[in-house]
Amino acid sequence: MKYISLNHNSAPTSFKKAVINGLAPDKGLYFPKNEVKLSASFIESLKNIDDFEICYEVIRKYIGDEIPKNKLLDIVKDTVSFKIPLKKIEKSIYSLELYHGPTLAFKDIGAKFMALCLDYFKDSYTSKKITVLVATSGDTGGAVANGFSGTKDIDVCILYPKGKISEVQEKQITTNGSYVNAIEVEGDFDLCQSMVKRAFNDEEINRKIALTSANSINVARWLPQMFYFFLAYKKIKNTKQNIFSVPSGNFGNICAGILAKSMGLPIDHFIASTNINDTIPRYIKDGIFEPNDTQATISNAMDVSDPSNFIRIQKIFNNDLQKLRKNISGYSFNDKQTKEIIRRLYTSEKYLTCPHSAIGYLGLKEYMASHDENKINGIFISTAHSIKFKDVVEDIINSEVKYPNSIKSILNKEIKSQSIEDYDELKEILLNRV
C-alpha cells in the first residue's frame, strides 16, 4: 500500500515512511492511495472469527509486506490485549466501552499499535534520533506515554494545555520516567497542536531529529481504531440498522469508523457528537467550514475547533457535501446538557459515563428521536473511564468514583514537567535532547 499526501504536493510513499515521518514533506496528512475492500464472505463470517484474526485482516492490506505476517500478528495481539465490551443501556441503545486498556481511554489501541510499528521500523530507516512529538487535549498523552514504555531509543515529547486536563490525565503523562518529556503549555489544545505543526515545518529541527507524531494524524495511530467498529459489529444482532454515535474532538475515531464502512462493514449512519466546539456540526448543517475560538468545557479532550482528521473524512466522500450529509449527522451539546445526562444515566440506569461518553449518548438520542428505534442498533462510543474526570463527575452524581487499581499506582508519583509559553522554548527543548 502506498500513501498519498492530502496536500497533493508530495510523492506517494510507503507505510513505513508514513509512520516514521508522521506528516508528508508538504505537511499534508497521509491517506491510503488505494481503496481497500473486504470480501462479503469475511464480513458474513465475523461472528465466527477470532478477534485477533479480524484485526489482522482489517489492517494487513494497509501495510502490505512491509511487516511480515507473523510479526504483524504479534503486534495485533499485543495491541488488542484487553476486553472491549458492548453493554446494553436501554432499549436499542448500547455502550461500546473503549476504556478497559492500560490508560483507561480509547486511544490505547492506536498508541500501542503505532509504538510497536515504529519500534519495528526504526533501525532500518534512519540514523537520526527518533522523537515522537504529540499534542494532547487529555487522553492521547497518557496513551502515548504508556504505549511507548516498552520501546528503546525513541524519545517521547508530549505537549498539553496547562490547567485544562484532569489530574489523572496529567499524572499519566508526567510520571513515566526519563523517556517522556512532558511539557505544559500556557494556552489551549489548538496552541499545542500549532506548535507541533510548526516543529514539523522547522528545517533546523528536522536536520537533527527524525520527528514523528503520535496524534491521530499518524496513520499507524489512526488506522487501528477501525478495530473497534469491527469488533462491535461482531457482538450485535445485524437485522437492524447499525448507528454509531462518536464523541468527536480531532475526528480520528469517527474517521476510522467511516473508513471501516468504506471497506464493507455494514454501518448505516454515523453521528458526530461534539461539545460547544461545534465546527463540524455547523459545517454539516450549512456547508461553511468556520472554526471559532476554542472554548473550554468539562469534556476537555474534545475542546478542538479545527479538527485535523476532517480532511480525511472529506477525502473518503470525495469532498461531496451531500454524500457526507447522507452518512453523518452532527449534533453539539453544552456542559449543562452533559451534566444532566450523566446524572440521569447514573440514577435511572445505574450507568456511569465520563463527560465525553455522555455527549455520545446525547447525540444518539437526538438522532433516534426522529427515527424508528425498533429498527436501530444504536451504539454510542464510551471513550474514557469516569475516574479520569473524577472531580467533575463526583460533583454531578454527588457520589464517590473509586480509583481502579491501574490508577492507584501513579497517584503518589511526583509530576515531572516543563512549562513553556511559546514555540522558541519548545524548539530549545527539542534540540537540547539530541
- CATH number of the domain where residue 314 is located: 3.40.50.1100
Cβ-proximal residues to 31 (8 Å cutoff; 6+ apart), any chain: 3, 4, 5, 6, 219, 312, 315
Residue 288 located in a structural domain? yes
Q: Is the dihedral of CA 352, 356, 357, 363 positive or negative?
A: positive
Asked whether residue 12 is domain-assigned, the answer is: no
CA atoms within 13 A on the CB side of 400: 3
Rg of the chain on CA atoms, in Å: 20
Q: Is the dihedral of CA 359, 169, 209, 419 positive or negative?
A: positive
Distances in Å between the Cα of 155 and the Cα atoms of 17, 22, 44, 218, 241 are 18, 15, 43, 16, 45
CA separation for the pair 165, 146 (Å, rounded) = 17
**275, part of any domain:** yes
| Percentage of the chain modeled with pLDDT above 90 | 74
Question: Mean pLDDT of all residues in the chain?
Answer: 93
Which residues are identified as catalytic?
107
**Total of domains in the chain:** 1
Q: Which of 328, 252, 283 is nearest to 291 (CA)?
A: 283
Given a cut of 70, whether residue 256 has pLDDT beyond it is yes
Residue 407 domain flag: no
Question: What SS3 class is residue 164?
Answer: coil
At 215 the pLDDT is 82
pLDDT tens digits for 50-61?
A: 999 999 999 999
**5-48: per-residue pLDDT in tens?**
999 999 999 999 999 888 899 989 999 999 999 999 999 999 99
Cβ neighbours, 10 Å, residue 267: 21
Strand order in the sheet with 241-247: 86-90, 93-97, 376-382, 241-247, 269-274, 328-332
Q: Taking the CB of residue 212, how many other CB atoms lie within 10 A of it?
A: 25
- Within 10 angstroms of residue 223's Cβ, the number of other Cβ atoms is 26
Q: Is the pLDDT of residue 70 over 70?
A: yes
Q: Tell whether 5 is covered by a domain.
A: no
* Mean of pLDDT values over 75-97: 96
Domain with 286, as residue range(s), is 84-105+221-397
Range in 75-89, 261-275, 407-421 the model is least confident about:
407-421
Query: How far is the CA of 407 from the CAs of 83, 148, 278, 326, in angstroms?
Result: 18, 18, 32, 41
279-331 pLDDT per residue, tens: 999 999 999 999 999 898 999 889 899 999 999 999 999 999 999 999 999 99
Q: Read out DSSP for 354-393?
A: -HHHHHHHHHHHHHHTTS-GGGEEEEEEE-B-GGGGHHHH
CA distance 94 to 100: 16
CB-based contacts of 414: which residues, under 8 Å, 6+ apart?
Answer: 175
- Identify the three-state secondary structure at position 421: coil
Residue 423 maps to a domain: no
The answer to whether the beta carbons of residues 380 and 357 sit under 8 Å apart is yes
Q: Please name which of 356, 267, 303, 294 lies closest in space to residue 136, comparing C-alpha atoms.
A: 303
**Does a structural domain hold residue 369?**
yes
Residue 292 located in a structural domain: yes
Say yes or no to pLDDT of 358 above 90: yes
Rounded CA-CA distance 185/193 in Å is: 10
